[in-house]
């Protein structure tokens, strides 16, 4: 999503706390990027989560006084940048900062031990207080889903336009769906509930592939031992696209802010079986592009797996659904909203 926002304003510099050109080089020209002092720290890309206490200060420190318009893309920190009083700041928000409403599932799970999670609470409390103040700085918000817009209203007491994020359609080719396995593509974080998918597939007696890495990888590998689940770690985009296109279905067991991965699966002609909550309710159409299970537990998902029929979901219909979220449509709509905010402010 950020890459498409940057492409909507191709002459604008990009400010960020840290950057890795090996990851973003083909998305953003390196000469556009301005980083913070954190970029100089050894291991900043590997230990970026540990730098959380410093992000408010480094984003506030950016000198944006030369700009009449600032566009931010954030799930936490970038909305806190300081602009001129007469400048316009439009924030595209992916979620209200998670430690405001899901501390135990998010921060506690990453910490791994309840003692560490508890010790972090005073720090997180201060960050949350900053976050609530910073949330009042943007002129306007654009949310990536109605789900996130509702959170913006509830936690920040701000209204937000809704513009679903784009799908990089060129990354995905329609596959045959002929594989005998189900697939999860995700960062390995506790709130993603990949443990539910592993246990459900074990109960249903079906193979599962898990693509991705993250703090929960070791625990999930231990849980998957002796089951029909294989954890593949990070894979090149082409391999991910091929595996998703050949899968019987994508499994989406967590409660997500938006639900982009089901749209990417649809671009590959693959349906989704999702937990009926959060952003998935906006990107999966029951009986058309996928199915829902109502309770976030292994037995409910296993029941859905046992009754799943891949033939009910023609690949062409799924691809057509994904094409509604084409990047060029996103860029056009994004700029239209920003132009409207500018006109209203004038």
Q: Are residues 309 and 234 in the same domain?
A: yes
Q: Are residues 153 and 256 in the same domain?
A: no
Mean pLDDT of all residues in 7-27: 86
Q: Are residues 19 and 66 in the same domain?
A: yes
Q: What is the pLDDT of residues 177-213, one digit of tens each?
A: 999 999 999 999 999 999 999 999 999 999 999 999 9
Assess contact for 330 and 4: CB atoms under 8 A.
yes
**CA nearest to 310, candidates 275, 339, 273, 277:** 273
pLDDT at 235: 97
Q: Are residues 311 and 186 in the same domain?
A: yes
Query: Rounded to an integer, what distance in angstroms lies between the CA atom of residue 88 and that of residue 85?
Result: 8
Q: What is the pLDDT of residues 224-273, one digit of tens each?
A: 999 999 999 999 999 999 999 999 999 999 999 999 999 999 999 999 99
pLDDT confidence band for 111 (50 / 70 / 90): very low
Q: Are residues 11 and 153 in the same domain?
A: yes
**CA nearest to 284, candidates 269, 272, 302, 296:** 272
Structural domain boundaries, residue 246: 169-323
Is residue 154 pLDDT above 60, yes or no? yes
Q: What is the pLDDT of residues 119-137, one digit of tens each?
A: 567 888 889 899 999 999 9
Query: Rounded to an integer, what distance in angstroms lies between the CA atom of residue 344 and that of residue 338?
Result: 10
Burial of 66 (C-beta count, 10 Å sphere; 0-12/13-18/19+):
exposed
Would 86 be classed as within a structural domain?
yes
pLDDT at 28: 84
Whichever domain contains 248, its CATH number is: 3.40.50.2000
Mean pLDDT of all residues in 167-179: 95
Would 77 be classed as within a structural domain?
yes
Q: Are residues 62 and 160 in the same domain?
A: yes
Is residue 117 pLDDT above 60, yes or no? no
Would 121 be classed as within a structural domain?
no
pLDDT at 115: 44
Q: Are residues 197 and 140 in the same domain?
A: no
pLDDT at 42: 85
Q: Are residues 154 and 240 in the same domain?
A: no
Would 36 be classed as within a structural domain?
yes
Would 266 be classed as within a structural domain?
yes
Q: Please report the DSSP string for 218-272 in residue order.
A: HHHHHHHTTSSEEEEES--HHHHHHHHHHSS-EEE-S--SS-HHHHHHHHTT--E
Specify the number of domains making up the chain. 2
pLDDT at 110: 47
State the average pLDDT for the chain.
92
The whole-model pTM stands at 0.88
């Amino acid at each position: 999503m950020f890459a498409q926002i940057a492409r909507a304003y191709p002459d604008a510099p990009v400010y960020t706390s840290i950057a890795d050109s090996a990851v973003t080089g083909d998305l953003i020209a390196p000469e556009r990027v301005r980083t913070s002092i954190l970029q100089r720290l050894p291991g900043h890309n590997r230990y970026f989560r540990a730098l959380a206490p410093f992000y408010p200060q480094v984003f506030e420190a950016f000198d944006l006084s030369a700009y009449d318009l600032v566009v931010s893309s954030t799930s936490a920190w970038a909305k806190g940048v300081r602009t001129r009083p007469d400048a316009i700041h439009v924030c595209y928000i992916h979620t209200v900062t998670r430690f405001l409403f899901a501390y135990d599932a998010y921060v506690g799970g990453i910490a791994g031990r309840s003692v560490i999670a508890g010790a972090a609470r005073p720090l997180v409390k201060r960050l949350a207080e900053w976050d609530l103040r910073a949330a009042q700085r943007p002129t306007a918000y654009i949310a990536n889903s109605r789900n996130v817009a509702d959170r913006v209203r509830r936690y920040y007491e701000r209204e937000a336009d809704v513009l679903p994020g784009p799908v990089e359609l060129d990354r995905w080719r329609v596959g045959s769906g002929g594989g005998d396995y189900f697939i999860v593509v995700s960062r390995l974080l506790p709130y993603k509930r990949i443990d539910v998918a592993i246990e459900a597939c074990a109960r249903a007696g079906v193979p599962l592939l898990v693509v991705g890495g993250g703090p929960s990888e070791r625990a999930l590998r231990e849980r998957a031992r002796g089951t029909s689940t294989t954890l593949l770690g990070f894979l090149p985009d082409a391999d991910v696209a091929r595996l998703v296109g050949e899968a019987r279905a994508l499994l989406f067991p967590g409660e997500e802010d938006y639900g982009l991965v089901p749209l990417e699966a649809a671009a590959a002609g693959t349906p989704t079986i999702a937990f009926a909550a959060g952003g998935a309710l906006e990107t999966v159409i029951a009986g058309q592009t996928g199915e829902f299970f109502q309770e976030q537990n292994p037995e409910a998902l296993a029941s859905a797996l046992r009754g799943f029929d891949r033939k009910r979901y023609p690949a062409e219909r799924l691809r057509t659904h994904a094409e509604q979220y084409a990047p060029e449509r996103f860029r056009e709509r994004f700029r239209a909203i920003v132009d409207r905010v500018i006109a209203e402010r004038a």
